[in-house]
Amino acid sequence: MVEPVKKEPAEDTELRDGKNAAGDAASAPETGTPAEKSPEDIAREEEQRAQMVQQLTTVDGWMERLHDPALGGVGLAFLKAAGSVLKREDIDFDMKPSAGYHSFIYPPKPGQDSFSNYVLYGAEALENAERLMGARTHEFVHALQYQTAAALHADPFNAATNIMVSPYDYLLRKERLEQDAYVKGAWLCALAAADAPDIVKVMESSPLPVSTFQNIRAQSADLTDAFEKAARDCRNLLGVWTKDAEKTVIADDWHARAIDEYERMMKYRHDNLQAGETLTFVRMDGADILEIGASFGPNTFVADAHNKSLTEIENLSPAHAQKIAEIEKKYSIAPRASLPTLSEAFAAAGTTRADFIAHSKTYKGPAAPAEKNTPANDTAPVQQQNTGPRPGAHAL
């Protein structure tokens, strides 16, 4: 890709990680003016940026040559698909995870796009080109998910709509989009091993290691079968995902991050409702899950759209179930079973999936000044698709 790293700063300032958002917001200067950097810091960042451009050139070459034994050349198609939709890629020198995909800015400033749609890489991604390849494929898959999955735009972080998934479905959605990204990322990195054999070792601490995917594929009937098995495997990986926490499956960590984001964002949305304005809560159905799995290549979730397992969280902890119930009670959200599906909500609103997504992608902050309770978008919670760091391992 030509000039993949753009040096100009983003027009928005976002918090780095949902779990640290509240603390970061509290400590942020009221003026929003960034701290002045020393000449040494500037020189170091310029060096890292140059390093990243060089590594991205290497990664581009690996991606362009990706060849699947069943599908043929897939690399150029993947690069073209992601490159045609992403607004930018850049480096965030303060970000702890290897990378993060940013979807929405809430609230957008007057005239600012609500759908931010960009990828940031943390300094950890610069350890080597193999790590950057792993981070890039993962976040590119997230970017592609948001192009055609309507449920990802039915989001409390999305200022373009008052239709949003229920708290349970927000956790379900988080699990499914991470499953899809880890499966597709492991698949593409496994193909890259032909050019970069060290990627197998570098990605060993991923929730779905390249070696694990290679073994699953070798024992599967076809690639689609391998995807389905790998999706189950990655969500059940046992580990320590937060410092000093107990060992748990990674899906539990995804749920914890999702519920933290949802709870804090709902407070902002609820506190800033205008007179007569209401929020419409919906539940996802199988078709919504299949849209997430259709990001690139074969669908990760190959089950029939009517299969109930698609819309059920396999391992929801009692603590998270209780938290969901508390949020529902606090904001008068009806029991999930009685909520309309997203498709039913669209029909009631007289819109279609395609029109809903198109409106979401092009929505800009209104020109009128925000209400006094509305936070600046450098202090509101941030939604970021990454799994965060864990002791002794690298996370994407």
Give the strand pairing for 115-121 and 88-91.
parallel
And the tokens for 328? 């529902």
Q: Is residue 222 part of a domain?
A: yes
Q: Is residue 1 part of a domain?
A: no
Q: Is residue 156 part of a domain?
A: yes
Please list the residues that pair with 100 across neighbouring strands.
120
pLDDT band, very low/low/confident/very high, at 378 (cuts 50, 70, 90): low
Mean pLDDT of the chain: 85
Please tell me the distance from the alpha carbon of residue 388 to that of residue 396, in angstroms, as a whole number.
7
pLDDT in tens, 26-80: 333 333 455 688 888 888 888 888 988 999 999 999 999 999 999 999 999 999 9
Residues sharing a CB contact under 8 Å with residue 146, sequence separation 6 or more, in sequence order: 103, 115, 117, 152, 153
Q: pLDDT: is 11 or 44 the higher one?
A: 44
Q: Is residue 127 part of a domain?
A: yes
Task: Report the percent of the chain where pLDDT is more than 90.
Answer: 67
Q: pLDDT: is 28 or 137 the higher one?
A: 137
> How many CB atoms are located within 10 Å of the residue 262 CB?
28
**How many structural domains comprise the chain?**
1
Lowest mean pLDDT among 25-39, 93-107, 300-314: 25-39
Token look-up 């499914």 returns: 176
Range of the domain at 178: 47-365
Q: DSSP letters of 190-234?
A: HHHTTT-TTHHHHGGGSSS-HHHHHHHHHTSSSHHHHHHHHHHHH
Q: Is residue 347 part of a domain?
A: yes
- 346-364 per-residue burial string, b: 16 or more CB within 10 A, e: under 16: beeeebebeebbeebbebe
Helices (H), the chain: 21-27, 39-64, 75-83, 129-148, 167-192, 199-202, 210-218, 223-235, 250-271, 286-293, 318-330, 342-349, 353-362
Alpha-carbon separation of residue 193 from 53, 145, 196 (angstroms): 21, 25, 5
Helix axes 129-148, 167-192, angle to 10 degrees: 130
Q: Is residue 3 part of a domain?
A: no
Q: pLDDT: is 42 or 201 the higher one?
A: 201
Q: Is residue 12 part of a domain?
A: no
Output the furthest CA–CA distance in the chain (Å, rounded): 60
Average pLDDT of 349-376?
83
pTM (predicted TM-score): 0.85
Q: Is residue 334 part of a domain?
A: yes
